[in-house]
A = this chain, B = another copy of it.
């Protein structure tokens, strides 16, 4: 019985349950859940029943449970309405089409002290499994993440670094220098940091109003990189990033506009 440090209250108890359902452990019996959570079966049965009723879990074969369709429905809402995802969708599609070498175009954002990919577009012949929508990535490795990390300053940066467990002062100094370089250059480049044999370029994508801290990146095989296509590639990345930011601003202006109308109406 693996007892967790604290008895969860509120939403936490449901979160702990749901968090157990991962790609590598996608279905659980109540027994297994109870054991993993260090809780009695009767309590877990109750929580599971509630989550099943809500569509967040569903019963699968042989007394197992898996994530339910409620997530698919909510995912669509995000896909159709999230400013970053909406603004990025069209842009990453045409960027991928424009890049000459086989690659993955990735739109990623900050999620707690990690980075999560929120959109990916891959050209034929590209295999970079680490960069797919919904996948979490460490914040201190890879161009995609570093372009995001470089946007944090001062206390916020310190929090992110401490959360990832970068206590080694030497590594911390190296990282700080690297972030400084990235800020100066306006683009992050790394090779072999996430997957060996892959090189990534990333530019920051931000919207202060929406509170969005993200990055747009291209990942391709290091072998395919030549002096010739690097310029093309980085130019495309920079202009695409700017395009996404511009589009988000348009969405933002719309939202504000609607809001003002609503306020005016409700004051009458």
- Asked if B74 and A21 sit within 8 Å, CB to CB, the answer is yes
Of A11, A18, A51, A66, most buried by chain B (CB within 10 Å of CB) is A11
Task: Give chain A's interface secondary structure class.
Answer: mixed
Tell me the residues in window 62-94 of chain A with beta carbons closer than 8 Å to chain B beta carbons.
62, 66-67, 69, 71-83
- Bound together, the chains give a CA A80 to CA B129 distance in angstroms of 12
Q: How far is the CA of A27 from the CA of B211 in the complex (A)?
A: 14
Asked if A134 is an interface residue, CB under 8 A from chain B, the answer is yes
Closest to A252 in B: B61
Are B76 and A133 interface neighbours, CB within 8 A?
yes
One of A110-118, A138-146, A170-178, A225-233 contacting the partner: A110-118
**Chain A 219-261 against B: per-residue CB contact (8 Å), 1 yes, 0 no?**
0000000000000000000000000000000001001100100
Partner of A23, one of B23, B26, B76, B111: B76
CB distance from A114 to the nearest CB of B (A): 10
- Say if the beta carbon of A50 comes within 8 Å of chain B: yes
A71 to B78, Cβ gap below 8 A?
yes
Nearest B-chain residue to A80, judged by Cβ: B23
Complex: how many Å from CA A81 to CA B111?
23
Cβ-defined contact, B75 with A134, below 8 A:
yes
Q: For residue A72, which residues in chain B have a CB less than 8 angstroms away from its CB? A: 75, 78, 116, 118, 133-134
Q: Does A50 contact B118, Cβ atoms closer than 8 Å?
A: no
Contacts of A46 in B (CB 8 A): 10
Q: B15, B76, B259: which contacts A134 (Cβ < 8 A)?
A: B76
Distance in angstroms between the alpha carbons of A97 and B255 in the assembled complex: 39
Looking at A52-60, A156-164, A196-204, the stretch in contact with chain B turns out to be: A52-60
Is the Cβ of A74 less than 8 Å from the Cβ of B67?
A: yes
Residues of B within 8 A of A51 (CB): 11
Select one of B18, B75, B77, B109 contacting A22, CB under 8 A.
B77
Any chain B CB within 8 A of the CB of A36? no
CA distance A219 to B15 in the complex (A): 38
Asked if B21 and A54 sit within 8 Å, CB to CB, the answer is no
Q: Is the CB of A210 within 8 A of B60?
A: yes
Residues in chain B near residue A59, CB distance under 8 A: 211
Min CB distance, A90 to chain B, in Å? 16
With A11-B54, A26-B81, A50-B12 in contact, do A132 and B76 touch (Cβ < 8 Å)?
yes
Cβ–Cβ < 8 Å partners of A71 in chain B: 71, 74-75, 78
